[in-house]
Structure 1
Amino acid sequence: MFELRLLCPEERVEIVSDALMALQALSVSVEDADADTAAEQALFGEPGMPVDREGWQRSRVAALFGTEDAAREAAALLGLQDFFAGCSVQSVQPVAEQDWVRLTQSQFAPVEITPDFWIVPSWHELSAQATRSIRLDPGMAFGTGTHPTTRMCLRWIAQRPAGRLGRVLDYGCGSGILAIGAAKFGALDIDAVDIDPAAVQATLDNAQANGVQLNAGLPERAQGLYGTVLANILATPLKVLAPLLCAHVAAGGHLVLAGILERQAEELQQAYAPWLQLGVADSDDGWILMTAQRAAA
């Protein structure tokens, strides 16, 4: 495996990346050439939101090729193109052989939610102190327990009195981790829904692997009232979904929202004010958990 490294101005990143893929690059990545210096630029904002630009003012473009000849041929062909003006070839160098499976697995360690509740990938031993656990491997759907928003939701679930979750809706379930967590803490009637069929399948597979029962499907599967409504998405879709999510909260039930940055608390409170009064229940690394409870009948 050989890596071709290029230096490109912002306006050339997209066309050069496309050309590299057309030249049979195995992968193409882009990073700030000025990272970790005073000239470093912030390009990405809230996760999941579109970015304003395709690259940094000085972008380092790296492409992997199967052979050195292929990498050098790609560099030579790019150098002949008009659109390569302003770009330069930095290097062609071999990439050390690695056990990519082991390397990937090493990035995912067990995650402590509470001292006795852990998220554990299948290749790790269960902690001796864990009385409850979710076995979950990284996959196509969001939710492995490593992100602060997921940890806060699971921590909230773990802190509920036994049997008090009631009927549960996990809206935007991703991997199904929150629904599975609810099942681990005694919920018996659980609906997990997502707009992505791959997430629905991941939820079903992960539930089976953890020996829990739940229902999973597209959003229309969510029907009626729930004692607990969980939604770990992002602030913008959460605002749009406010009337729908609130309509599913039963009398005395709880609404639990995550995917919200600290600076977005007030706008979420305003969006939900016609139906429920949100408050900040937890915070972790710049993210917050917001909850509300509907008055009992």
Structure 2
Amino acid sequence: MFELRLLVPEDSVEIVSDALDALDALSVSVEDADAQTDAEQALFGEPGMPPPKEGWQRSRVIALFSTEALAREAASVLSAQDFFEGCSVIGVVDVPEQDWVRLTQSQFAPVEITPEFWIVPTWHEPPAQARQVIRLDPGLAFGTGTHPTTRMCLRWTASRGDLAGQRVLDYGCGSGILAIGAAKFGARDIDAVDIDEAAVESTRLNADANGVRLNAGLPDAASGRYDVVLANILATPLKVLAPLLCGYVAQGGSLVLAGILERQADELKQAYAPYASLEVSDSEDGWILMTARL
């Protein structure tokens, strides 16, 4: 494998990246060329939303090619284009062969939710102190336990202790991790729904791998009232969904919302005020968990 490394100004990042894709690059990544210096820039955005910018003022664009010849040909073709003005070729670098599967797996260690409740990839043994374990490998759907919003939802579930006999809805289920967590703590009637069919299939596979029973489907699979409604999405869709989600909560039931930044707390309280009184129940790394009893 060989990397073609380019220095590209912000306004050319998108067109250069598209050109590299057309030149059959195996992958294209963009980094801040000034990282680890006083000129480093931070770009902030919410997960699942478009990035605020395509790149940095001085971006390092790295394209991976299968051979050195392809990498050098791409550099030659790009250099001849009008849109490449202001850009420069840093060089072509040989990438040593590695066990990419093992390298990727090494980046995903068991995740502690509580001292006795862990998310454990299948290639790891559960920690000795784990009494409750969800087996989950990184996949296409959001929710591996590594993000603060997921951990906070699971901590809330663990704090409830025994959910035996309770009906639970995981709205926007992603990998199904919250629904599986509810099942591990005794919930009996669990619906996990998502607008993404890939997420629905991922939830089914992960439920089978963990030996739990749940009903996964598109949003119309949710019906009736639930003792617990979990929704780990983002603040904007959560505001729109306020009447729908509250309508699913049984009298005396719990609403649990995540995907919310600390600065968005008041927005959510206002959006849900006609239906429920939201409170901040947990926080981690700038994210908050909001809950209500109806």
What TM-score, normalized to structure 1?
0.97
Q: Which amino acid aligns with 1:106?
A: S
Q: Which amino acid aligns with 1:118?
A: W
Tell me if structure 2 keeps the 8 A contact 1:230–1:255.
yes
Tell me if structure 2 keeps the 8 A contact 1:32–1:40.
yes
Q: Distance in 2 between matches of 1:52 and 1:162?
A: 42
Q: Which residue in the other structure is 2:191 paired with? A: 191
Q: Which runs of 5+ in 1 are unaligned?
A: none
Partner secondary structure for residue 56 of structure 2: coil
Q: Which residue in the other structure is 1:8 paired with? A: 8
Q: Distance in 2 between matches of 1:119 and 1:26?
A: 32
Partner secondary structure for residue 12 of structure 2: helix
Q: Which residue in the other structure is 1:290 paired with? A: 290
Q: Which amino acid aligns with 1:272?
A: Y
Deviations 1:22-55 (A, max 9, x none): 1111111111111222222222322222234322
Q: Which residue in the other structure is 1:76 paired with? A: 76
Is the deviation greater in 67-76 or in 171-180? 67-76
Instruction: Report 1:144-223 matches (<5 A).
Output: 144-163=144-163, 166-223=166-223
Q: Which amino acid aligns with 1:245?
A: L
Q: Which residue in the other structure is 2:257 paired with? A: 257
Tell me if structure 2 keeps the 8 A contact 1:165–1:227.
no
Runs of 4+ off more than 2 Å: 48-53
Q: Distance in 2 between matches of 1:58 and 1:16?
A: 13
Q: Which residue in the other structure is 2:237 paired with? A: 237
Task: Determine what percentage of the aligned residue pairs are the same residue.
Answer: 77
Report how far residue 274 of structure 1 moved. 0.4
Tell me if structure 2 keeps the 8 A contact 1:165–1:182.
no
Is 2:105 aligned against 1:105? yes
Report how far residue 165 of structure 1 moved. 7.2
Q: Which residue in the other structure is 2:43 paired with? A: 43
Partner secondary structure for residue 105 of structure 2: helix
Q: Which amino acid aligns with 1:12?
A: S
Q: Which runs of 5+ in 2 are unaligned?
A: none
Partner secondary structure for residue 160 of structure 2: coil
Q: Which residue in the other structure is 2:269 paired with? A: 269
What TM-score, normalized to structure 2?
0.98
Q: Distance in 2 between matches of 1:232 and 1:165?
A: 23
